[in-house]
Structure 1
Amino acid sequence: MAYRETEKMRQRKAQARQRIIDCTFECVAEGGFRSARITRIAGLAGVATGTIYRHFESREDLFAEVFRLATQREVNKVAEALTTTGNATIRLEAALRQFAERALRGPMMAWSLIAEPVDPKVEEERLAYRKAYADLFEQAILEGIDEGCIPDQNARQSSTCLVGAIAESLVGPLSPTQSGQASRNLKDNNDLLVGTIIRFCMQGLTGTRR
């Protein structure tokens, strides 16, 4: 008789897979992808290292999955901010603020998502993540053009510029080599940093000083 997996076994496998993902996320949030070693993940999850490879073909596949889930969470938060009441410029400012403030509250995870050197499969997810932001910003810019609060322009190109500007402006403050010092010296100045980023982005988008 052929073996048939029971519902209980399927649930156990799903639970083990979720523990592996959760523990990998925890490792990345603490020290980036470079610190997320398979042996450590297995220990935290309470499974053998071989169990990880029964759920994920490779370390790369595990990291790509964790990256995908983490970035979708951030994209969802920006999408939520874009539903703020007000015209498109107000909504875009809210979304940019959401992006920057969440990054500064979780600098290691944000660094890992934005700039940490990663394997090719994870880099593919990073490109998809940046495109997801650009798609959201493009729609808001098009709405702003229709509303008359944003000058007519190539919305796709402008949205890509917004993603690049905000990500690049956060690389320094989020870098593990600087964020520790920054957290000691500039903790009270995050509002200033976020304000500067938003002002730069919105002035570039609207052509007016804010």
Structure 2
Amino acid sequence: MNVQLNTAAEKKQAIYQSTLRLIREFGFHGTPMSQIAQEAGVATGTIYHYFASKEELIVELFRYSKERMLNAIFREDERALSYPRRFMTIWMNLVEHYIQHPEVLSFMEQFFSSPYVKTLYSEECVYFQDEMSNFLKQGVDEGHIKPLDINIISAAFVGTVSATAKRHINGRFTFKEEDLKKMVGIIWDGIKN
């Protein structure tokens, strides 16, 4: 990267983006800090200035990616929609986010399959103690969704999002908006109360 990075925010952003790209290509273990620094256009010491270890970088990258993802899928102008319509919109927003940012999808899948997840979530904890879990729990509490364990509902929701986005990203099928509406309709029909 030949861009002059001046502020701490710019440097951290470059480190995050470089780490996402490299992890998508080489995985967690195949991405050394020196390679991240080179890709980001910063000194290796600069990374250690912001992150004490690679583990800390990955955990902070998860938080950063999750916050950006939640902002992309829970849009303020869609909060007034009916619950079923909002469910469908959020599902489609997440698919679109992953299609636009395949490195985030790859990172999230690797993160939740890695020991790093234990640094944030205990064994008993639902992985998504966030707006997504709250939204799905709201659907159960209000009677829109079958009274199932939140882990089952989350797996149906997130699993189909990931599979749909990967199929599109890998060029197996180019999903149009109408296709996504049909897909989320199948998911909704399966879990609605």
| TM-score normalised by the chain length of structure 1 | 0.67
Alignment equivalent of 2:42, drawn from 4, 24, 47: 47
RMSD of aligned alpha carbons: 3.3
- Which of 40, 63, 69 is equivalent to 1:68? 63
Q: How does 1:27-176 map to 2 (within 5 A)?
A: 27-32=18-23, 34=27, 36-80=31-75, 83-115=78-110, 119-122=114-117, 124-125=119-120, 130-132=128-130, 133-143=132-142, 145=143, 150=144, 153-154=146-147, 157=149, 159-172=150-163
Gaps of 5+ in 2: 1-5
Give the whole-Å Cα distance in 1 for the aligned partners of 2:21 and 2:79: 32
Cα distance change on mapping 1:162 and 1:24 into 2, 3 Å: farther
Contact 2:69 2:94 in 1 (8 A): yes
Shift in Å, 1:140: 4.0
Count, aligned residues: 180
Counterparts of 1:56 and 1:115, CA distance in 2: 20
| Unpaired runs of at least 5, structure 1 | 1-13
8 Å contact kept, 1:67–1:125: no
Q: 167, 182, 186: which one pairs with 1:200? A: 186
Which TM-score applies when normalising by structure 2?
Answer: 0.71
Q: Distance in 1 between matches of 2:114 and 2:44?
A: 20
1:62 CA displacement: 0.7
Measure the CA separation in 1 of the matches of 2:111 and 2:50.
25
CA contact (8 A) 2:126 2:151 kept: no
The whole-number CA distance in structure 2 between the counterparts of 1:87 and 1:106 is 28
Question: Over alpha carbons, which structure has the higher Rg?
Answer: 1
Compared CA separation, residues 105 and 123, structure 1 to 2 (3 A): farther
